[in-house]
Amino acid sequence: MVRTRPMETPPKIENQDSRWMKFALKEAEKAAARGEVPVGAVAVIENRIIARAHNLREAKNDPLGHAEIYLLSKASKKLKRWRLSDVTLYVSLEPCLMCMGAMIQARIGCLVFGARDPKAGACGSLYDLSNDRRLNHRIEVTEGILAKECSKMLSDFFARLRKRSVR
């Protein structure tokens, strides 16, 4: 299912979204290869990727080591500004509370994610910070882009972990 707020996305945009989400999935593959939960993200402005990141919590022993947090930092440094209202952020998994809070603080204009996160999602699954009128910024969201591929990567990763722990 693709849900877009506040207006429906034309099919041409959905194809572009799929294109950029494939780059986020490549980042997720890098995370998986390092034994990290496979979440990847890319930041796009004017049809150009300006930053890429993937989860590094285990490698850096960092509870803030989510792909989105690293991505926001890289994008801000590259652009030499913290306001990222012209950035579209693509991420393979629905962001958590921490990441949504960071995106709101960075004034991200658009968020596109693949798979929903029923246990920690803060963009519609458990919470919806993207559209909370009590906050000073709202983020346009498109969800479900390459959702099956994103979900499969996560499911396969956790199945391998469970298999290893049984041995």
Q: List the catalytic residues.
A: 68
Q: What is 15-80 written as a DSSP string?
A: HHHHHHHHHHHHHHHHHHHTTS---EEEEEETTEEEEEEE--HHHHT-TT--HHHHHHHHHHHHHT
Other beta carbons less than 10 A from residue 82's beta carbon: 13
Contact 113, 91 (CB under 8 A): yes
Name the one residue in this structure whose structure tokens are 């458990």.
126
| DSSP code at position 155 | H
